[in-house]
Amino acid sequence: MRVRGDRGVDVRDLSPASQYVQAVAATGARIRAASRWLNAVSVEADAAQRAAIADLPFVAGTRPVARTRRAAHDPPWTAESPTSAAFGVAETQLALLGVPALRECGLTGAGVVIGVQDSGFSLQHAAFAGLHVLAARDFVQGDDVVADEPGDGEGQDRHGTMVLSLLAGDDGDLYSGAAPGVSVILAKTERIDEEEPYEEDLYVEGLEWIEGMGADLFTASLGYFSGTSTRNTTARPRSCRRRRWWRSPTASSCSPPTATRGPSRAR
């Protein structure tokens, strides 16, 4: 995220070298996403294409795009919440975070830029009437529409809208988010009608885009209720088995590929 002051630019701000990306694409693999921070690309490739990518002299290694599993649970909640003139029905949740004390000190979201990444956002509610949206991008369908649109699952933008309201909603004495007055950058990176490994690609693209747009902070309230452990490749869906990251330790430079293979990527 953005550092207030003059941070400058370093190698992590540079994209993987275009000639490396082109060489990977020349194997017939389909490039899904490229990452500056990981110095890598994500691709769809069959067995022969994966072997060809692994043999490229600048590729440090390949691995499946990660996937995880989280058990479903129902958090406790009460149907009725106390209200106040300052925070409306959000009184209890904001008190748990210590927000009322911050408001008494005159602190709000004014002057802060926060990136929000989720399944989509509907901005038609009155609580978003004064919301300052600096930029919005749909990485699922490749456009700038972050609300529901043809091709989305039913209710696609519902979760992101609720998360955004917790942060930036402001509906007078009926409801208040934690940081009214904040400016936001919105990234739609998740589908709700399927859970596939390519969503990790979209997450990486969205996060790097938000950082590049100058956000001070970033939030993503995302989790997955089903999936396949990366330890068991035999149970991995075909779409997951075909995806691989490649990484070059010098992919951010403009030098041509060399015959030296870099160390395997580990994290």
Chain segment 98-156, per-residue pLDDT in tens: 888 888 888 889 999 999 999 999 999 889 999 999 999 999 999 999 999 999 988 89
Q: Which domain holds residue 155?
A: 91-219
Quote the pLDDT of residue 185.
97
Please indicate, yes or no, if residue 256 is contained in any of the structural domains.
no
Please indicate, yes or no, if residue 56 is contained in any of the structural domains.
yes
**Alpha helix locations (H) across 169-244?**
198-212, 238-241
What does the mean pLDDT of the chain come to?
A: 77
Q: How far apart are CA 16 and CA 21, in angstroms?
A: 7
214 with 108, same domain?
yes
**Which tokens in the block code for residue 20?**
């490396």
202 with 166, same domain?
yes
Cα separations (Å) of 215 from 12, 79, 114?
A: 16, 35, 5
40 with 127, same domain?
no
60 with 129, same domain?
no
Please indicate, yes or no, if residue 142 is contained in any of the structural domains.
yes
Number of domains in the chain: 2
234 with 180, same domain?
no
Strands (E), the chain: 30-35, 40-44, 61-64, 113-118, 132-138, 183-188, 217-219, 243-247
CATH of the domain at 197: 3.40.50.200
Please indicate, yes or no, if residue 166 is contained in any of the structural domains.
yes
Which bin fits 84, alpha (ψ -120 to 50), beta or left (φ > 0)?
beta
Please indicate, yes or no, if residue 165 is contained in any of the structural domains.
yes
Residues of the chain with pLDDT under 70: 1-8, 67-85, 223-267
Please indicate, yes or no, if residue 180 is contained in any of the structural domains.
yes
Quote the pLDDT of residue 81.
56
Quote the pLDDT of residue 55.
94
35 with 136, same domain?
no
Quote the pLDDT of residue 175.
86
Quote the pLDDT of residue 266.
31
If DSSP codes are grouped into helix, strand and coil, which group holds residue 166?
helix
Please indicate, yes or no, if residue 146 is contained in any of the structural domains.
yes
Quote the pLDDT of residue 20.
94
**Which tokens in the block code for residue 267?**
């994290």
Quote the pLDDT of residue 115.
96
Quote the pLDDT of residue 2.
54
